[in-house]
Amino acid sequence: MLYNRILLVVLLLLNSFLVYRLLVSDQGVFAYLELKGRYESLEERITELDQRNLELSQEIRLLKSDRFSVENILRQQMNFVKDDEILYVFPEESTPEAPADAAEQPPGAGNASQN
């Protein structure tokens, strides 16, 4: 009877230790779920980078073999034009508006205390 109680206490201690390791420790369920999420995000990033790598490889192949693609890139990025062409360059963004205080005063009004 005493051996049964000792065995029961030892098994309960072992069981509580295993539950602690399962839930709380660095090798537990929550650490596993965190690593799994990180793994999935890294897999997505690898897929995106592979796609970008493929696109760049195709662009390099075109630039090496196709004269017209080189010409198109020069025209788009460097604003090159052919003979008898006119290039119109428009600003990408409008300039920011003046502050409200400056807009209220007419030009040359300045401070009244300086007069």
pLDDT tens by residue, 41-99: 999 999 999 999 999 999 889 888 888 888 888 777 877 777 787 877 788 876 666 55
Read off the pLDDT of each residue in 6-26 and give the average, rounded to a whole number: 90
What does the alpha-carbon distance between residue 56 and residue 74 come to, in Å, rounded to a whole number? 17
Contact status, residue 55 vs residue 62, Cβ threshold 8 Å: no
For residues 8-33, give the mean pLDDT: 88
Reported pTM:
0.49
Q: Using the predicted structure, report yes or no on whether residue 108 has a pLDDT greater than 60.
A: no
| Res 115 pLDDT > 50 | no
